[in-house]
Amino acid sequence: MVWHSSESSIQNREISFLAILEIVFATFLYWGIAFYYDFYLHIITSIFFAPFLLLKSKDSMIFTLNKCVIIFSKNSLIKFTIDNKIMILLSSLMTVISLYFTNNLNNVLRFLFAFFIGVLFSNILIILFVVLYSKILATLKYFIEGIKNIGENWFESCFRIDIFKTPELIWGIENDERIPNDFKFSCFFRNVKKESNFIDIFVKIFIIGILYIFAVFYRFSIKSTFWFYIPLLFLVKTPSTIEDNSQKVGEFLSSLYETYLAKWRFILALVTLLGFIYSYFNYLDFMNLNIPFTQFLILFYIDISNFEVWRIFQLSIVISTIFIFLGANAIRVPKISNNLELKKDLKILVIFYLNIFRNWVSFLYFSSAFLYLLFYFDRINNINLPIGIKSFLLTMYNFIMYKPFN
């Protein structure tokens, strides 16, 4: 662990103490606003948009940068602002309309100021549109790769990156030499000092300032939903096939029990399992038993009649995690201790496919969680969806809330 992040600590996958403090701060801030104002839209929005922000892969980063380079590479921020004539015309029209309805057309200074601000905001919208459009295309194009990396991306965003890491609207933009420094937050003060024209200085400070706030909000929105996405720890990037190679098999098993992430998964699984037992344990009936060895009967006094389907998903993830951790440890340690080769046998395949099973059930669990939020906050009725889709979502909601043992 390090006190705060740096490029080297992020590359070495070291946890930042400051990043953990940011999680606490962001969570309390978001929930404090929610409780004080009885307003939860920012939390719901963060939860629903976080997966799209975390579906990052090496290919999607390159794709996004290449798309943005086409637009940003030949323009400085000032030139980019001036050259967008369509948006200037649109912002002019919006300014005239707004001033007309407020009866301020006779106020020339106010009109000019409103027009100027309208132009700046229109260009902010252009930049955000280009960035979001490129990210969405990249996410859809490399969706499978993004799914494989979502757990690692989430952990990095929450535990390794803090305010000492420059925010990025586009992944990798700070290190891409094809994009002008005007669009890089790390070069902000250097770029402002180069300008001698007051208007140019104001434009840069205004646009980059708003974009910086947006980038910071994006980062904190992920940290603020830590409590919701903590099960992403259970997702492990799994190879499509496992080679019959001692080194490859050893690396795969090591990733399942030896790394600190694997140990945190195991601890979280044990805590969750104890929470299940505590929540559904029939304490009174158990205490009325007057037979020896009652401790061995504890599992028979867990009331599963109130288990919904989504709870079964959760319990399956927890139990499979415990088996994977203990199984990988039991297979690899004796082999390493006795200098024996690891071969792709039945035990290895069981661990391999059990890990794939856990990843798929984790996907079902998160899908269930999103559905639950949609109906709990009654957002489903506020979205204009075809009746068939709403009916399907309602059917799926009833399924995940179904109690099969009742």
Q: What is the pLDDT of residue 78?
A: 46
Inter-residue contact 212 to 187 (CB < 8 Å): no
Average pLDDT over residues 377-393: 74
pLDDT, tens digit, 9 for 90 and up, residues 67-124: 777 766 655 454 555 445 555 555 566 556 555 555 554 555 566 666 666 666 666 7
pLDDT, tens digit, 9 for 90 and up, residues 242-286: 666 667 777 777 778 777 778 888 888 888 888 877 777 665 555
Q: What is the pLDDT of residue 283?
A: 59
Q: Burial letters for 137-156: b for 16+ Cβ neighbours within 10 Å, e otherwise?
A: ebbeebeebbbbbbbbbbbb
Q: What is the pLDDT of residue 82?
A: 45
- In whole angstroms, give the CA distance from residue 24 to residue 224: 8
Q: What is the pLDDT of residue 111?
A: 61
pLDDT, tens digit, 9 for 90 and up, residues 1-22: 788 888 888 788 888 888 889 8
- In whole angstroms, give the CA distance from residue 243 to residue 344: 7
Contacts of 5 (CB under 8 A, 6+ apart): 16, 18, 19, 160, 161, 162, 164, 165
Q: What is the dihedral of CA 157, 219, 87, 180, to 10 degrees?
A: -60
Its pTM stands at 0.70
Q: Determine whether 129 is exposed, middle or buried from the number of CB atoms within 10 Å of its CB (0-12, 13-18, 19+).
A: exposed
The DSSP code sequence of 194-205 is H---HHHHHHHH
> In this structure, which amino acid lies at residue 395?
T
Q: What is the pLDDT of residue 292?
A: 56
Domain ranges of the chain: 7-234, 246-400
Q: What is the pLDDT of residue 294?
A: 55
